[in-house]
Chains A and B, each alone.
Chain A
């Protein structure tokens, strides 16, 4: 089997797994939304984290220690924020939702330049799907106007930015998402419908506007993407610190070992001298003298 065959096999294995995961994740979240079960949505979210792993394996993204930063911060914030959204009060949920969106925008920016296939788009945008579902959770009580507006704006940006990379793909995904969302019957449906209908009406204008929008959003995002520089610095420092800790610990162990060996050699030397010199003789003699002194005192009380 030649080298390329091996590569193909492995990549197709990973591809199959990714498809499976995405399918199950979609199924889980859909069922969760249908029957209003938070557990299923949480399960779906967990699966999406594994999708991240699959993507990273495929691209061997985390090849440098620097990349550990982005992974750790992004994924941890994502998980924390998601579970916060579940159980927190309204305003905190909104803040978490905004944070989550920004995080995924940044992540898409970093990873999104190499999107080639439909599956990639779907898998990367599975995050969007979950942001949408978390929006659903946030909106289980009534929303204020301000909150609704913010949500609409950010979602639009998100959709536009991600879906406008390739216009052909846009339509395909649009079909898919429309179909999915239509079967759900939530608020998002209305927003998406109105948006997409408006956009479909003037296709060219839409394309031009969307391209301009996309560029400006890309510029903003590129600036935002530098946000992880301080994180990178923190993480590099942490890595350095961890390595110095382990070195120090090894040194500490060696130091203790040397100390123990020194103590034992000293003890052995004392033992040796006690046997081989007549030091113990003196020691015993002194005891004898002490006893005789006591005896003398006793006799003369």
Chain B
């Protein structure tokens, strides 16, 4: 399939970009040129991702074999509906973050930030696309290491170093559990390929070319694997009680980095849980009872985590901590959606991750712009209205009660999932946490309200100064994307059905296995 070469290229593209930037920086090329090259490379990545997205939407499931080797001998990339849309979100976040960091990161660390951002996104895209457990571990490790480095990018801030240490040490320990998982799976199942594991989990007698039969008693091992993997992914997405690193990191990381964290790095956890619970150890496998027990446990953890962190959100006064706890709350809500087991709910989860990413990015960028405008020259002050509108739209999107914004639809689908599963009390949990979060959001809206006194003192308001053009453009793009997505979701049935179909596609592990093992 000639068209599928983008799938393999994209991760490599981001890796190469980071190397190019590092090289250019050591040659001490001009700062503006590096900015331009970085932005161009990110834009190319975004375009590639758009192409992959449209292609995968037309054919359903895409398989790319590295080197042409058939699975499970070689590593494959399996691009699902949810993989491609989350990868699209990650590359979009990367582009906006790079554009934003042109003016909002100190020049001496900017190139370093570019390198790390590209590495991180390469890892994210790799882990989203991969169909192989060891490759998943490698990509997650790449994401993790880049995150540790980005956290401590302001080396002279002792809090940053401390946050990086906390995140780094606990993250390494937890991620190495994933390596342990890989070992255990290889030792028992004899393979590292997700489809292969899924096949053998559902049919213990199956024999696959290149990997043979299972070895020994795999039920016990599968239970341990599932439990460990759950623990790892809970840490990665910052669900309570594994959330302790997240507020610290969000307090000290540079603002564009936080945007990437919420939109691409921290969604790996939820994505990993979806893969493990629906594709690999699906509904009808040998660990059925244990899986159900774990799902119930996850539902309880998710419920408590979302309400407690929402309560924290309602008391926050600074944007960084608000975004941190709000992300924890929204990710826990996504976890709740994952545990229900209905297709609409999973579609809602994906939409929720997307709207959370867009909303958090709007909030962070607009808050930073407002602060800069408020400190700046007199002629800029009347321009404060555009970032404020972006802030309000971002916060309302996260609040999720206006049907013209995507946040509403994700909650609707979560509610539909709960009602369909016969558990309407779940809707109450969703909305209680939303309400508590809303207190914090409303407080922010009121706090950043532009006062009339700001622009009345200035005599000459002669338009936008040059340095504000780029941030305002980014904000306008974000607002337009959010509103357009929202309007399409409201007005057109087929856009909503796309997400629902993603949910059902993920739950259908038989189709996954068939397509992976089918072709030549």
The answer to A–B direct touch (Cβ < 8 A) is yes
Binding site for B on A (CB under 8 A): 260, 264, 267-268, 271, 274-275, 280-281, 284, 287-288, 291, 294-295, 298, 301
Cβ B228 vs Cβ A274 within 8 A: no
What's the Cα separation between A298 and B223 when bound, in Å? 13
Q: Which 9 A-B pairs have the closest CB atoms?
A: A274-B244, A284-B173, A275-B244, A275-B248, A284-B170, A280-B244, A264-B311, A275-B166, A294-B224
A263 nearest CB neighbor, chain B only: B311
Chain B residues, CB < 8 A from A301 = 217
Chain B residues, CB < 8 A from A275 = 166, 244-245, 247-248
The reply on B25 being an interface residue by CB < 8 A is no
The reply on B395 being an interface residue by CB < 8 A is no
Chain A residues, CB < 8 A from B177 = 291
Cβ B244 vs Cβ A268 within 8 A: no
Nearest CB in chain A: distance from B451 CB, A: 30
Decide yes or no: A298 and B221 within 8 Å by CB, A264-B311, A275-B244, A280-B170 being known contacts. yes
Cβ A291 vs Cβ B312 within 8 A: no
Residue from A264, A274, A280 within 8 A of B315 (CB atoms): A264
**Chain B, interface SS category:** helix
Nearest CB in chain B: distance from A276 CB, A: 9
What's the Cα separation between A291 and B231 when bound, in Å? 12
Chain B residues, CB < 8 A from A288 = 173
Nearest CB in chain A: distance from B515 CB, A: 33
Binding site for A on B (CB under 8 A): 166, 169-170, 173-174, 177, 180, 184, 217, 220-221, 224, 228, 231, 244-245, 247-248, 308, 311-312, 315
Nearest CB in chain A: distance from B251 CB, A: 10
Cβ B174 vs Cβ A284 within 8 A: yes
What's the Cα separation between A298 and B219 when bound, in Å? 12
What's the Cα separation between A281 and B172 when bound, in Å? 12
Chain A residues, CB < 8 A from B311 = 260, 264, 267
Cβ A271 vs Cβ B170 within 8 A: no
What's the Cα separation between A260 and B245 when bound, in Å? 24
What's the Cα separation between A274 and B177 when bound, in Å? 21
Chain A residues, CB < 8 A from B231 = 287
B224 nearest CB neighbor, chain A only: A294
What's the Cα separation between A260 and B217 when bound, in Å? 49
Chain A residues, CB < 8 A from B170 = 280-281, 284
Decide yes or no: A268 and B312 within 8 Å by CB, A274-B244, A275-B244, A294-B224 being known contacts. yes
Nearest CB in chain A: distance from B68 CB, A: 36
What's the Cα separation between A298 and B185 when bound, in Å? 13
6 A-B pairs whose Cβ atoms sit less than 8 Å apart in the complex? A267-B308, A271-B247, A275-B245, A280-B244, A281-B169, A298-B184
What's the Cα separation between A149 and B248 when bound, in Å? 92
Chain B residues, CB < 8 A from A280 = 166, 170, 244
Nearest CB in chain B: distance from A244 CB, A: 31
- Supplied contacts A291-B180, A295-B180, 8 more A-B pairs, CB within 8 Å: A264-B315, A280-B170, A280-B244, A284-B170, A288-B173, A291-B177, A294-B224, A298-B221
**Chain A, interface SS category:** helix
What's the Cα separation between A267 and B315 when bound, in Å? 13
What's the Cα separation between A268 and B244 when bound, in Å? 11
A295 nearest CB neighbor, chain B only: B180
Cβ B228 vs Cβ A291 within 8 A: yes
Nearest CB in chain B: distance from A268 CB, A: 7
Chain A residues, CB < 8 A from B220 = 298
Cβ A271 vs Cβ B244 within 8 A: yes
Nearest CB in chain A: distance from B97 CB, A: 26
Nearest CB in chain A: distance from B20 CB, A: 37
What's the Cα separation between A268 and B315 when bound, in Å? 11
Nearest CB in chain A: distance from B422 CB, A: 31
Nearest CB in chain A: distance from B227 CB, A: 10
What's the Cα separation between A295 and B220 when bound, in Å? 12
Nearest CB in chain B: distance from A39 CB, A: 45
Nearest CB in chain A: distance from B55 CB, A: 41
Chain B residues, CB < 8 A from A267 = 308, 311-312
Cβ B169 vs Cβ A264 within 8 A: no
What's the Cα separation between A276 and B39 when bound, in Å? 38
What's the Cα separation between A301 and B219 when bound, in Å? 14
Nearest CB in chain A: distance from B172 CB, A: 10
What's the Cα separation between A69 and B72 when bound, in Å? 88
Chain B residues, CB < 8 A from A264 = 311-312, 315
Chain A residues, CB < 8 A from B247 = 271, 275
What's the Cα separation between A294 and B228 when bound, in Å? 12
Nearest CB in chain B: distance from A139 CB, A: 58
Nearest CB in chain A: distance from B313 CB, A: 11
B221 nearest CB neighbor, chain A only: A298
Chain A residues, CB < 8 A from B248 = 275
Chain A residues, CB < 8 A from B221 = 298
Nearest CB in chain A: distance from B316 CB, A: 11
What's the Cα separation between A271 and B321 when bound, in Å? 13
What's the Cα separation between A69 and B213 when bound, in Å? 89
What's the Cα separation between A21 and B461 when bound, in Å? 65
Nearest CB in chain A: distance from B218 CB, A: 11
What's the Cα separation between A271 and B328 when bound, in Å? 13
What's the Cα separation between A8 and B173 when bound, in Å? 89
What's the Cα separation between A298 and B215 when bound, in Å? 13
Chain A residues, CB < 8 A from B228 = 291
What's the Cα separation between A287 and B235 when bound, in Å? 13
Chain A residues, CB < 8 A from B166 = 275, 280
B187 nearest CB neighbor, chain A only: A298
B315 nearest CB neighbor, chain A only: A264
B166 nearest CB neighbor, chain A only: A275
What's the Cα separation between A270 and B444 when bound, in Å? 26
Chain A residues, CB < 8 A from B184 = 298
Chain B residues, CB < 8 A from A260 = 311
What's the Cα separation between A260 and B307 when bound, in Å? 13
Chain A residues, CB < 8 A from B312 = 264, 267-268
Nearest CB in chain B: distance from A290 CB, A: 10
What's the Cα separation between A275 and B249 when bound, in Å? 11
Nearest CB in chain B: distance from A271 CB, A: 6
Chain B residues, CB < 8 A from A274 = 244
Nearest CB in chain A: distance from B11 CB, A: 30
Nearest CB in chain B: distance from A272 CB, A: 9
Nearest CB in chain B: distance from A213 CB, A: 70
What's the Cα separation between A208 and B174 when bound, in Å? 108
Chain A residues, CB < 8 A from B173 = 284, 288
What's the Cα separation between A274 and B245 when bound, in Å? 9
Chain A residues, CB < 8 A from B180 = 291, 295
Nearest CB in chain A: distance from B253 CB, A: 15
Nearest CB in chain A: distance from B50 CB, A: 40
What's the Cα separation between A287 and B174 when bound, in Å? 10
What's the Cα separation between A90 and B217 when bound, in Å? 88
